[in-house]
């Protein structure tokens, strides 16, 4: 597993919070509620695959999120437990 990498946003910059909220919306619409999950472990395993798809292969308006980061981004955890 890759090391955890966090980037703190500048306080009082709502555009960064908007990016996080947009990711959470896409996560819910394209991953969490698309199918019925039979266990938390099944959902966790699927999230690893979905994050790789989102960060490297899914079409984005400008550039994929992983292209701005020198290491793999796979530490995003769903808060829907």
Q: Which domain holds residue 49?
A: 14-68
Assess if residue 76 is contained within a domain: no
Full-model pTM: 0.58
Assess if residue 45 is contained within a domain: yes
Tokens of 65: 């999120």
Please give the Cα distance from 18 to 1 (Å, whole number): 28
Assess if residue 4 is contained within a domain: no
Assess if residue 5 is contained within a domain: no
Query: What is the number of structural domains in the chain?
Result: 1
pLDDT tens, 42-81? 999 999 999 888 887 787 777 666 666 555 555 555 554 4
Label residues 10-48 b or e (16+ Cβ within 10 Å = b). Answer: eeeeeeeeeeeeeeeeebeeebbeeeebeeeeebeebbe
Assess if residue 52 is contained within a domain: yes
Please give the Cα distance from 19 to 24 (Å, whole number): 9
Assess if residue 20 is contained within a domain: yes
């Amino acid at each position: 597993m890759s090391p955890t990498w966090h980037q703190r946003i500048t306080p009082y910059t709502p555009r960064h919070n908007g990016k996080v909220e947009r990711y959470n919306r896409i996560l819910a619409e394209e991953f969490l509620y698309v199918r019925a999950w039979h266990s938390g472990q099944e959902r966790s395993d699927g999230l690893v695959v979905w994050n790789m798809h989102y960060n490297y292969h899914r079409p984005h308006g400008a550039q994929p999120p992983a292209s701005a980061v020198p290491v793999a981004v796979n530490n995003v955890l769903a808060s829907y437990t």
